[in-house]
A and B are shown apart, each in its own frame.
Chain A
Amino acid sequence: MSEHPGHSAHTLHEHIVPVSTYVAVFIALMFGTALTTWVAYHNLGRWNSVVALIIAVAKMLLVVLFFMHVKYNKGLSRIVIVGGFFWLGIMITLSLSDELTRRWEINPAPFNMILPYISHLHLLF
């Protein structure tokens, strides 16, 4: 309970991160930004987006793990982070369920193949 000062000693085990770690992460992020800019001037064809996304994800992980202290936190904080990504996954997957299936036929091919056979079934009865 935060209102009892006596309890705060064992509820607050905040990890103290040395400043050098923050500086290192900051430099890495700046390097990532420079890399993204540099790559943007080279045409890699179909790999354009892939490379840009790999750099972006690496930078995002650095921010989440070090700046947001997820590396040092256990339990509930990690559940929250994983939950956030899971929800992002829901958004992307279900949006793609539309995007990727717009060209699908209303009657999928396998059904069309067996249709002529089924349509003669009544002759048996």
Chain B
Amino acid sequence: MSTATADIHEVPAESRVHYLNARYGIKSWLLTLDHKRIGLLYLGTITFMFLIGGIAATLMRLNLIEPQGALVEPETYNKLFSTHGIVMVFFFLVPSIPATLGNFLIPLMIGARDVAFPKLNLMSWYIFVTGCCCMLYAVMTGGVDTGWTFYTPYSSTYAHTSVLLAALGIFIAGFSSILTGLNFIVTIHKMRAPGMTWFRLPLFIWSMYATSMIFVLGTPVIAVTLLLLGLERILHVGIFDPALGGDPLLFQHLFWFYSHPAVYIMILPGMGVVSELIPAFSRKRIFGYSFVAFSSLAIAVISFVVWGHHMFVTGQSVYAGLVFSVLSFLVAIPSAIKVFNWTATLYKGSISYQAPMLYALGFIGLFTMGGLTGLFLASLATDVHLNGTYFIVAHFHYIMVGGAVMAYLGGIHYWWPKITGRLYPDLWARFSALVIFVGFNLTFFPQFVLGYLGMPRRYAMYPAEFQSLNVLSSAGASVLAVGYVIPLVYLIWSLKYGPPAGPNPWKAKGLEWTIQSPPPTENFEETPIVTEEAYNYPTVGGVSV
């Protein structure tokens, strides 16, 4: 891609200075301004939060093995699903790809030495950790039972748990999102290497740009909403409580104005990762580059005008329901553009099924299922039947776990050799990708059926006729848990015992692959000059080689 590519040859990671061994000690990490190290700080933090959210999910699934609840009191069950939702959404999925891979890769991909505001970047991590601590403290001192949506009056008039503390945690963590988004937008505008024009940018950068737009435009609204909630509870200012002259639906409008776009904060980075993986493992230029790029922006914009589809049965006016239903269908267009372009990229490609590619292919299938079942829920009439059932739970887990988490793991596997300079055992990685795919479908497909049959979500007990499907789902959850533990083991193993990866183990295109792994602290010894488009893989007679 640049002139620097020609003279790159393998130097053992131990014998040269790179960002991991340039400085040692706790202080060198806690005070680092290096975007790569900050990405790793985030990686550690969100992995821990994923563990917390995962434990809550495991306990829930265990409880649902028996119709009358096998494990916990209904009150405890309420706290378990609330903790699971809040931790996974606000403290894992929202920062997952942007704060880890985004932080690590954006400067590398655009040929910069760091992000635009390195100190702001470190500050955002400290803010995020403060938010996490707040949330964990809330969990330890009584927990929250409102669900991750904090609907009033559960969170206001009738709240008797640590609602405000959890809300404060989200409020604080939100500022780390805003700062990260701001940093990325300025970095992408101002720090691109010479020759790196907008239409030569890797599609991951386009998706991070679109995500940052949502961070900056949406997150302040959830912060203000939670602040208003606090004002009402502490000072009794009437905002959401009808008895004080407020409107309970106003909370839902404000909450979903952020929280629907937040779904795209989770999935857009995943789409960006998949847009890197598919060309790399098909050895082909992406089909319809500009369509994939602009569909990211289209998704970001449209995501802000569809939130009312969460409120079809909560008392929103029929007219507003109609408007939001029509607008919601629009999101399907840019999403479908992406899926069609990825599959068209595969066509006549020279495909290899290494672990990251398995995750990418899993993403396409599961995201498509999640997206298409979303159309059921955007239709007013079917939503009346399906709203508040397990159908919804299955739908958004296909997007958030089948989509976002699959892409996150695919991205971690793809860039792990670059991040650590080490290779992991590919066979184990493929095996775990398969286990996760099987476990995921076994967990969540039965929930589509359960929801269609009318089993409501968020209950600790259920009628006996739903037991066999629930047991299937719980069995799937245990398979899924095993699937998540295997990568944790071999990735940590590879840190010490993995063979050296070399600069470009996948023979992939992109500036990040033109430098040593792990990269030197300053990324590029000389500022690269970009002379070609992204994904410029060699082809013979239209067929990739």
Contact = CB atoms under 8 A, between A and B. Distances in A.
B272 interface: no
A125 interface: no
8 contacts: A1-B191, A3-B112, A90-B305, A91-B257, A95-B254, A98-B308, A98-B311, A98-B317
A94 B305 contact: yes
Interface of B: 112-113, 116, 189-191, 217, 221, 247, 249-250, 253-254, 257, 304-305, 307-308, 311, 316-320, 323-324, 527
B258 to A, nearest CB: 10
Given A87-B217, A94-B305, A102 B317 contact: yes
B253 A104 contact: no
Contact of B247 (A3, A76, A97, A99): A99
B-side binding surface: helix, strand, loop or mixed?
helix
A83 B217 contact: yes
A94 B527 contact: no
Given A87-B217, A99-B249, 13 more contacts: A1-B191, A1-B527, A3-B113, A84-B217, A94-B307, A95-B250, A97-B323, A98-B249, A98-B317, A98-B320, A101-B317, A102-B317, A104-B318
Contacts of A2: 116, 190-191
Contact of A101 (B113, B191, B304, B320): B320
Contacts of B308: 94, 98
B242 to A, nearest CB: 13
A98 B308 CA distance: 9
Contacts of B221: 91
Contacts of B253: 91, 94-95, 98
A84 B374 CA distance: 29
Contacts of B190: 1-2
A104 B116 contact: no
A47 B253 CA distance: 26
Nearest to B316: A98
Nearest to B304: A90
Nearest to B258: A91
Given A3-B527, A104-B317, A94 B323 contact: yes
Interface residues of A, number: 18
A76 B311 CA distance: 36
Nearest to A102: B317
A1 B189 CA distance: 10
Nearest to A3: B113
Q: Which of A3, A76, A83 gathers the greatest number of chain B CB atoms within 10 Å?
A: A3
A61 B222 CA distance: 23
A114 interface: no
Contacts of A104: 317-319
Q: Report which residue of A84, A91, A99 has the largest number of chain B beta carbons within 10 angstroms of its beta carbon.
A: A91
Contacts of B247: 99
A2 B115 CA distance: 11
A102 B257 CA distance: 19
A7 to B, nearest CB: 11
Given A97-B319, A101-B317, A104-B318, A76 B249 contact: no
A1 B528 CA distance: 13
A39 to B, nearest CB: 19
A77 B253 CA distance: 29
Nearest to B247: A99
Interface string A87-122: 100110011011101101010000000000000000
A84 to B, nearest CB: 7
A76 B254 CA distance: 28
Contacts of B320: 94, 97-98, 101
A42 B308 CA distance: 38
A59 B347 CA distance: 58
A100 to B, nearest CB: 8
Contacts of B305: 90, 94
Contacts of B189: 76
A104 B307 CA distance: 21
B318 A106 contact: yes
Q: Which 6 A-B pairs have the closest CB atoms?
A: A98-B320, A101-B319, A101-B317, A95-B253, A102-B317, A97-B320
A87 B304 contact: yes
Contacts of B257: 91, 95
Interface in A1-23: 1-3
B193 to A, nearest CB: 8
A87 B253 CA distance: 14
Contacts of A99: 247, 249, 317
A114 to B, nearest CB: 20
B202 to A, nearest CB: 19
